[in-house]
Every structure is written in C-alpha cells, then in structure tokens.
Amino acid sequence: MKKVVIALAGNPNSGKTTLFNALTGATAHVGNWPGVTVEKRTGIFKGYKNETVEIVDLPGIYSLSPYTPEEVITRNFILEEKPDCIINVIDATNLERNLYMTSQLLEMDIPLVLAFNMIDIVNDNHVQLDIKGMEKLLNVPIIPVSALRNSHLNDLVLKAIEESKKVKTPSYSWASDTKIKKIIEEAISIYSKEKIDNPTFHAIKALEGDEIEKEKNSKLFSQVCKLVKSSDDFEVESANLRYEYITKNITSLKKEEKTKISEKLTKSDKIDKVLTNKWAAIPILVLIMFLVFHLVFSENLFFIGSIAGAIKGEDPFSGYGGLISIGDYHPFEDLFYSSSGINSPGVILTNFVNGITGMITQGFRLLFETTSSPEWVSGLICDGILGGVFAVIGFLPQILFLFMFFAILEDSGYMARVAFVLDRIFRKFGVSGRAFIPMIMGYGCAVPAIINTRTLSSDKERIKTIRAIPLFVCGAKLPILVACCGCIASVFNLQSDLIALSIYVIAFATAVISVIVMNNTTMKEDVPPFIMELPSYHLPMAKSLLIHIWDKAKHFLKKASTIILTSTIIVWLLSHLTWSWEYVSEEDISLSILASLGMFIQPLFTPLGFGYQISREFGWTYTVATINGIVAKENVISTLNVIASSLPSTFIGNLDVGNENGIDALIAMYESTNISLGGIYSFIAFNVLTIPCFATLATSKAELPNKKYFINSIFFWLGVSYFVSMSLYLTIDFIWPIGIILPLVIGSVAFLYFYNKKNNLKIEE
C-alpha cells in the first residue's frame, strides 16, 4: 500500500502540534512558546483506509530563512525528504504574520493546503473571512479548522491527500514590480537549465544571499547574485513586498463588525491587562508558582496545621495507621494528614503509591522470613531490585502532578506571557525569557526541565541553562534538607526553616552567578532576540492534558527506572560484599567494599568539613552517602539511615534511627562523628549543588551538543559545589577565611569586567 507523507508547517503558537496530536493521537508535547517542537515527529492518520497517511510535525518557525536551527530543520526536510503535501497551519486570528511563510511555501513545487486554525476564535471575535476569495488570490485550497475542538480535521487531511496527487505550479505573486519580476524570472531560468528541484524557491533564495543556498549550489548562486547590486537590499525589498502584498489583499477579504473601542478588546487582551501588568505580573507569577509547588509538595496544606496548632497549643493532627496493617508496618500511615498538617494532593498520591509499594516489599520480606531464605536473597530482592524500582515509582505521582499543572499553564497560553515578562530580567544574566520555563521546572525535577531546554534558540543558551538547572533544589533533594535542617535545629538550637530557606537562596544565587560567569567567559554570546506572539487564552482540553502526562510518564519510567534500578543493585552489592567476596550484613557494613572506598575517598572532603577532621570509624558514612546520592538524591538519607542503625547503642540511645525523615539518624551520626555546624551545612550544600543523579546525567548527555560539553559539565558541577561548600564550611566554623574568600570573589569579578572590556574594544577596532 502506498504511503502518503503530509508535513505540518507553521508559525509557533499556530496550533500546529495540537493539530498533530488530534490527527494522530501521538504524544507530541503541546506548548505555547516558540520552538517547542525542535525535532520532527511522525504519526499515522487513522481516518483514511485506502492509503497509509503519515503526518510529520515540523518545528514551529516564522520563515524558511536560515536564522535558527528550527528553520534549517523544516527547510531541509521539505526540500530533501520531499513530502507529498504540506499543510501550512495558519493562526486565523493573525493572518498577516502567518502568511509570510506561506508566500515562501508557495514558491515550491510541493502541493500545499492551508489550514486556517482557531476559526472558532475568529467567529467569536465577529470577524468574517472571505475564504473563497483568499483561495482565488493565493491559488491554494484553504480549510477552516479548529484543532482544539476537532473541527473539520478529516476534511483537511482528505483535501491534502487529494492535492498530493496534483502537480503544483510555483507562485510569487508578491513580486508585482516589473523589474523585480524580470530578475526573478532570469534567476529561475538559470536554475531550471540545471534541472534543480524547486527552481523558483532556490532562485529567490540565491537572490536574497541565502547562506545555505550558497553552500549547496555555489556555482548557480554566484551567477544569480550578479543579477542584483546587493543581495541584502533584495532580501529587504522582497520582505517588504511580501508584507505589502499580504496586508493589501488580505485586509480587503477580512471584515470586522463595527464595535465600540472597549468591545474591540478580546478576552485575552482584558486578562493581559492584569497578568502582564508592569507591577502585578511578577507578584502574580510568584503566587501561581507557590500554589503549584504547594499543591504538589506541601505536607501542611494552606498552613492549616500551623494555624490549628497555634490555636490549640499542640499538634492538632496525627497520622492514622490502622486502616491496613502488616505486622507492625502501617503502609497508609499519614496518608491524608500527619502531625505537620493536612497533606497536599501531590503528597496524598505519593503516600498512597508508597503505601502500595511498601505492602509489596513487606510481603516479600515476610515470604522470605517464613521460607527461611538466606539473608542476602531478601536484601537483594527487597532493598536492591524492588527498592530501585519503587524509588522511581514513589516520586512519579508528584512529578506527573507537577507536569499536569505546567501543561495547564502552557496550553492555556500563560507560560508564553511568563517568558515575555521575564525576558528583560533574564537577558541581563545572559539568557532569554524562555530559559525561565525549564529553570523553574528544576524545582520539581531536573529531568523534564533539561528536556524543555530544547525550546531555547542557541546551543550556548541551552548549555548554560542545562548546567544551571541541577543547581536548584529539586523534589528529590528535599529529604536531605528535612533531615539535616532538623538535626541542626535539635543539636545547635537553630531555626530549621531559616536554614532550609538559606539553602534555597544559596542554590538560586549560585545558579544565577554561574550563568553570569559562563556568559562572560566560555559561553559568551549576545543573547538571541526573543520574538514571539502571545497566543489567545483558552481552556486546555482534557485529551491534550492526558496525552502530555502519559508522554512524560512513559519517558520518565523508560529512562530513569533503568538507570536507578541498575545502580541501586550495584550499590547494594558493594555495600554487602567484602573484597574477598564474602557477604556482610548491615551490622558489619564498615567491612564492605563500599565502606573501604568511602574511607579511601574521605580525605578529599576534608576542606569541606566532613573529611579527616571527623571520626575515622564512621566519618566515611558522609562520603558514601554523597557518592550514593549521585545515583539518586533520595539515597543520601537512606544510606545514613542504614549505617546509623548499626551504630553502638551509646550513640543511638533513644533515637528512632529508622524514622523516614532521617533526623534521628543524622543526630546519631553527629554523636558518633563530632561533625561541626559548618560541616553539616557544607554537607547539605554539596549534595544540593554537586553532580546530579544518574537520571539527570543521562538526560543531560542526550541534550548537550556533544560528549565534550557533557564531560565539562560534570567538572563544572563538581567544581562549583566544592568551592561553595568549602566557602560555607570555612566561613561558618572559622569566620576569618572571609578575609580571603571575599577578596578572591571581588578580584574574579574585576578580572571578568576588564577582560570583557578589553575584548569589546578589540571587536570595535
């Protein structure tokens, strides 16, 4: 059966990817900022049985000129892959802007159909379009559709299949000037003599001085360029003529009902008066982000627990563990609420999933106990294999819940406004407003955040953002903050919330400073212009949200679970085997391969406060926990918990070292190692800022341009975390090193300033 290939091409925010999802049911991400579809996506249209119809979703672009990677991808696919037909997706609410690229597509020999998308919004705005007149003017079929509401989509594809069987005549009607038309005809004849495919398109690109055309057809390019005095002048003039032709002719075929000036404002305009207001935009953004993370991660929903506690003078809530019990294990304890307060929806879902996985693990433990299985079998299955799989599944509800909120914000059109509002601020740091989206997602999980750097327009901007994202405090790092800050509050009588807040501030400041330094050294560049059109606000469709969430869930499970599962098994084996391959239980974990490696590496952390200056017998625990945290950040506290359980009773006392929050385990470790306040603070900072987890590393490797940048990024994270942690340790415990660190930082800033000033002078000369 013959296959018909139909390519979707259009401007960003024209609804192209929404149309692709509706036609194929595939899992492409629907977004509302430019360049979301960096890679082409394919799917099969199910509504036509005579032939196999493959739909290809191309990057959203404004023109076919080689200014961005997205434009090159789209252009190369059309010219080299030669689809049977192109569906040019047009935002019908903004025809003048969208039809510019249409004028370029009309110059090709490939059959073309225009999809006037968002026609429902056009009708709601009381605008009438003369579709028949426009078809006659452009000499191409036009189908009004609404991708969001699945309106007339079958008609669109059937028309594209019909057009794919016809021969298309290239058109350049915009060249109304006789002189320019004559030049174009001469250029076309030069290309036609050499039997080049799409001669009209190539000829006009040569006249415009197109770099890709110069590289691929250098001989013909040189001949054509002789027809004009300046290619730059011709490019500017042709662009003006295209816009003049579109505006003059389309305006006459579009009629708007006469309304009062106040009624001309659309719903989106009225909403934007508030959401993009100069003074209100940032506070509203902060409030929305707070609500998102609060609903996903908070264990004290809307601070009800704190308010009730202040009124009653005691903990008003306590967990309930009697619903289901397996021995002394209560899988759904603290499901809906705990001593902290009422759980957020994200925490409830996570607790429920963890309760299910906990029951499975506990069931296997009881099975191994009743069958008198060897201890290593129970450990490998329950702690190694199941522990690795369930470590991933346990955080999946919160991650997907976060994805859902971000999908709603994206699909509604709000995220495009966020990028627009923050562009002015972020530009000063060396990245555009688009970098905000993946950075803020880094507070939830670095994996999807790094994937979303595909929306950025240059490799350098992507590299800077990818390196900054793991510096944020993601959800997996929260157990480290909870345990360590609780320990500091108990041992040193300090406020744990202030300690946690300071870590967030330090992490954010480190990320911003890192971007600034990179932008002034190895990643120096002029921030690419951020040009975009704000889409109209609309309610997201449930189908699109479900497709988005399923896509993210599948991607997360596929990439993260394999890495974490493998690494967890390896770590378990290393922590339960000696160099002579003898099995050791948790009580003798200090004899394991992992312990000996920890003792060997421990001196490296001496400048950070948890090296040789603390107990040699158990001090290696912090080193092992840190290394294990590279596998998954959740492992840091779980490792300390395991080792703390084997400490002598003189250190443990009445502490509950098996408590999930890890605070008592940290207190026990403090008692056994005599680590200082600066050492614990440094330990937190290092684990927050250092090399991210394996899942993030794998994602970074896939998204960075090449292996060299990936290796350099690892050294970057290691160097930044080491310097910041060392500075914190020395400053907190000794104070006097401020006299060295501060001049060093000031000197570095001064060096960067004069270095850049000197380079700028050279460029001007």
Q: Please, what is the angle between helix 281-297 and helix 267-275, to 10°?
A: 90
The predicted model gives 116-145 an average pLDDT of: 90
State both tokens at 657. Answer: 């070292």
The predicted model gives 20-26 an average pLDDT of: 79
State both tokens at 263. Answer: 């009624």
Q: Is the dihedral of CA 691, 697, 699, 705 positive or negative?
A: positive
Report the CATH number that the domain containing residue 45 is assigned in CATH: 3.40.50.300
User: What H or E segment, with its residue span, contains residue 270?
Assistant: helix 267-275
pLDDT band (50, 70, 90) for residue 220: very high
Reported pTM: 0.65
Q: Check whether residue 133 and residue 233 sit in a common domain.
A: no
pLDDT of 404-434, one tens digit each?
887 788 778 787 788 778 777 777 777 777 7
270 is a domain residue: no
Q: Per mean pLDDT, which of 194-208, 465-479, 523-537 is the most reliable?
A: 194-208
- 196 phi, psi to nearest 5 deg: -80, 135
759 is a domain residue: no
pLDDT of 611-666, one tens digit each?
888 877 778 889 988 987 887 787 787 777 767 766 666 676 666 555 555 677 78
Q: Check whether residue 153 and residue 193 sit in a common domain.
A: no
CA atoms within 13 A on the CB side of 460: 17
pLDDT band (50, 70, 90) for residue 32: very low
Q: Give the separation between CA 562 and CA 45, rounded to whole angstroms.
A: 32
Q: Please, what is the angle between helix 281-297 and helix 345-370, to 10°?
A: 20
239 is a domain residue: yes
Nearest to 633 by CA among 560, 702, 553, 552: 560
State both tokens at 628. Answer: 């294990």
- 117 phi, psi to nearest 5 deg: -80, 165
Q: Check whether residue 384 and residue 509 sit in a common domain.
A: no
519 is a domain residue: yes
302 is a domain residue: yes
% of the chain exceeding 90 in pLDDT: 20
The residue from 137, 164, 191 where one domain ends is 164
Q: Give pLDDT, residue 710.
A: 93
> What is the pLDDT of the chain when averaged over all its residues?
80
The predicted model gives 90-96 an average pLDDT of: 87
* Higher-scoring residue by pLDDT: 526, 743: 743
The residue from 113, 136, 164 where one domain ends is 164
Residue position matching structure tokens 């900072």: 685
* For residue 82, pLDDT beyond 80: yes
Q: Check whether residue 285 and residue 328 sit in a common domain.
A: yes
Q: Check whether residue 10 and residue 125 sit in a common domain.
A: yes
Q: Check whether residue 239 and residue 329 sit in a common domain.
A: no
Q: Check whether residue 187 and residue 159 sit in a common domain.
A: no
- Pair 241, 117: CB distance under 8 Å: no
Nearest to 89 by CA among 158, 144, 31: 144
- Pair 593, 579: CB distance under 8 Å: yes
Q: Give the separation between CA 245 and CA 462, rounded to whole angstroms.
A: 37
Q: Check whether residue 513 and residue 389 sit in a common domain.
A: no
pLDDT band (50, 70, 90) for residue 33: very low
Q: Give the separation between CA 603 and CA 622, rounded to whole angstroms.
A: 12
* Higher-scoring residue by pLDDT: 267, 134: 134
Q: Check whether residue 672 and residue 614 sit in a common domain.
A: yes
State the Rg of the chain over Cα: 31
Q: Check whether residue 521 and residue 654 sit in a common domain.
A: yes
pLDDT of 351-362, one tens digit each?
788 788 878 888
The predicted model gives 275-301 an average pLDDT of: 82
Q: Give the separation between CA 631 and CA 569, rounded to whole angstroms.
A: 11
- Pair 268, 274: CB distance under 8 Å: no
pLDDT of 312-335, one tens digit each?
655 555 555 455 665 566 677 777
* For residue 761, pLDDT beyond 50: no
Q: Give pLDDT, residue 83.
A: 94
The residue from 140, 164, 188 where one domain ends is 164
Q: Give pLDDT, residue 754.
A: 67
546 is a domain residue: no
Q: Give pLDDT, residue 576.
A: 79
Intra-chain end-to-end CA distance of the chain, in Å: 64
Neighbours of 501 (CB within 10 A): 13
Q: Give pLDDT, residue 584.
A: 80
Q: Give pLDDT, residue 104.
A: 94
pLDDT band (50, 70, 90) for residue 202: very high
* Higher-scoring residue by pLDDT: 391, 51: 51
Q: Give pLDDT, residue 255.
A: 80
Decide: helix, strand or coil at residue 662.
coil
CB-based contacts of 155: which residues, under 8 Å, 6+ apart?
Answer: 143, 145
pLDDT of 562-592, one tens digit each?
666 776 677 778 877 888 888 887 667 678 8
Nearest to 438 by CA among 390, 399, 470: 470
Report the CATH number that the domain containing residue 253 is assigned in CATH: 1.10.287
Neighbours of 385 (CB within 10 A): 15
Q: How many domains does the chain have?
A: 4
* Higher-scoring residue by pLDDT: 369, 35: 369
Query: Which residue type occupies 663?
Result: I
Decide: helix, strand or coil at residue 72.
helix
pLDDT of 704-749, one tens digit each?
888 899 999 999 999 999 999 999 999 898 876 777 777 877 777 6
CB-based contacts of 526: which residues, under 8 Å, 6+ apart?
Answer: none
Q: Check whether residue 141 and residue 13 sit in a common domain.
A: yes
- 89 phi, psi to nearest 5 deg: -80, 120
State both tokens at 716. Answer: 């970057």
- Pair 380, 569: CB distance under 8 Å: yes
* For residue 700, pLDDT beyond 60: yes
Q: Check whether residue 234 and residue 313 sit in a common domain.
A: no
758 is a domain residue: no
- Pair 683, 666: CB distance under 8 Å: no
pLDDT band (50, 70, 90) for residue 90: very high
pLDDT band (50, 70, 90) for residue 187: very high
pLDDT band (50, 70, 90) for residue 116: very high
For residue 585, the enclosing domain spans: 476-526+558-734
422 is a domain residue: no
* Higher-scoring residue by pLDDT: 267, 106: 106
pLDDT of 482-516, one tens digit each?
778 878 888 888 776 678 878 888 998 899 889 88
